[in-house]
Amino acid sequence: MLFFHGNAGNISHRLEKIGIFRDLGVDTFIIDYRGYGRSEGQPNEEGTYRDAQAAYEYLTQPRKLAPRSIVLYGESLGAAIAADLANKVETRGLVMEEGFASTADVGQEIFPFFPVHWLARNRYDTISKLPRIHIPLLIFHSREDEVIPFRHSQRLLAAANEPKQFVELHGGHNDAFAVSAPTYRAALKNFFATLAR
């Protein structure tokens, strides 16, 4: 699993989730984007995409992993980054948790009277990339997410190709995977079993 975390925090804040992956028998490689954690530089959209590409190339070149053995996982901002990478490289599957259609869409909902679509520098336009992705997709989202409205994942699901699956969680933006732990674990276990066939 190549794991891309959300905007808040860094890799040290994902230990609980990585523990779940370990319990499921999944090896995980997680990175901090430029400007996050101990990584140098300033974060921006293109930079995070390049960071994701570099992580993928590390796994497939020096580590010599087969592209079809890699599953991309993105939470929130990381879902946009994972979708961008899935649009460019070969992988086995894609998991998106608490994702959004685009940052411009989120901003427009928060500031409905401002031309956010015209002003946004970082767009992370996830929804436009999904129609070009043809790998198994699993989407998690909580109706109680206080940061990214539930309808964003519904739009992502509608834009995606088959095979695709949507699993509704309960809890907040950052803890739904823990609040809904049995549902979350079961869905991941089933998804990985399907990919292994």
The answer to pTM > 0.85 is yes
Query: DSSP assignment of 78-116, as one string?
Result: HHHHHHHHHTTS--SEEEEES--S-HHHHHHHHSTTS-H
- DSSP helix, strand, coil percent of the chain (3-state; round to 5): 45, 15, 40
Q: Of 185, 156, 157, nearest to 169 (Cα)?
A: 185
User: SS3 of 187, please?
Assistant: helix
Q: Which domains does the chain have, with CATH numbers?
A: 2-196 (3.40.50.1820)
Q: What is the pLDDT along the chain (197 residues), one digit of tens a residue?
A: 999 998 877 898 899 999 999 999 999 999 999 888 888 888 888 999 999 999 999 999 999 999 999 999 999 999 999 999 999 999 999 999 999 998 766 654 544 444 344 445 557 899 999 999 999 999 999 999 998 999 999 999 999 999 999 999 999 999 999 999 999 999 999 999 999 88
User: SS3 of 53, please?
Assistant: helix
Specify which residues 2 forms β-bridges with.
Answer: 29, 72
> Rounded CA gap, 164 and 1, in Å?
18
Query: DSSP assignment of 12-52, as one string?
Result: GGGHHHHHHHHHTT---EEEPPTTSTT--S---HHHHHHHH
Q: Of 90, 93, 18, nearest to 59 (Cα)?
A: 90
For position 107, what pLDDT does the model report? 53
Q: Are strands 93-97 and 29-31 parallel, antiparallel or unpaired?
A: unpaired
